[in-house]
Amino acid sequence: MKWMNAVLRGLYDWTLSLARHPNALWALAFVAFIESSVFPIPPDVLMIAMIVARPNRAFVIAGVATVASVAGGVLGYWIGYGAFETLGRPVLEFYGKDAYFAEFQARYNDWGAWAVLIAGVTPFPYKVITILSGATALNLWVFMVASIIARALRFFIVAALLWKFGAPIRDFIERRLGLVFSVFMAMLLGGFLAIRFL
């Protein structure tokens, strides 16, 4: 387990070091793109460092992170779609469990837009939902719209806070903003459920 922590720490430090690179915006786009399907370090790490260094470019930086993250999400979607058809479905069929997946798929697709919104805003790994959305063949346009809303909300709120308050708010964003987003999404989802069932 120590080696895993060392690897993650190394990736974190490498990602943070990209903020000082002359092509930092391209580096951010790359990190945001691959994080949406495979990379373990969220682009926020790089984005926060870049905005603290150049607050006048906060919204450009957030825009790049949003576009690249959604594009990476589409790649994650296609990984889920392609890998499920080639690997997942034959295994389920062999064990006679493909009917269970059909039932899960129907349930997931009923709530898929919410899953994408919640994962796109909260600390829950967005890549899990991008791949799962492809595996269940969630409507691609539903996936895209939910991803754009979620990722823009997350990155532009962080950018706005850093632009307005600067470095002093950095600790709050890095440590507590995920919790705030999670509580907000739980309340929003709870409100819609209350309206639907009451």
Q: Cα angle vertex 155, ends 152, 161, to 5°?
A: 125
pLDDT band, residue 5 (cuts 50/70/90):
low
Least confident among 55-59, 72-76, 99-103, 183-187: 183-187
Instruction: Give the span between the Cα atoms of 172 and 116, in whole angstroms.
Output: 24
Instruction: Give the span between the Cα atoms of 124 and 1, in whole angstroms.
Output: 21
Instruction: Give the span between the Cα atoms of 45 and 114, in whole angstroms.
Output: 25
pLDDT band, residue 178 (cuts 50/70/90):
low
pLDDT at residue 101 greater than cutoff 50: yes
Q: Which long-range contacts (CB under 8 A, 24 or more apart) does 79-83 make?
A: 79/37, 79/130, 79/131, 79/134, 80/130, 80/131, 80/132, 80/133, 80/134, 80/135, 80/136, 81/134, 81/135, 81/137, 82/134, 83/131, 83/135
pLDDT at residue 172 greater than cutoff 70: no
The pTM assigned to this predicted structure is 0.78
With contact defined as beta carbons under 8 Å apart, do 35 and 42 qualify?
yes
Instruction: Give the span between the Cα atoms of 8 and 171, in whole angstroms.
Output: 20
pLDDT tens string 182-198: 655 565 555 445 545 54
Mean pLDDT of the chain: 78
Among 50-64, 84-98, 181-195, name the most confident range: 50-64
Q: How many CB atoms lie under 10 A from the CB of residue 62?
A: 25
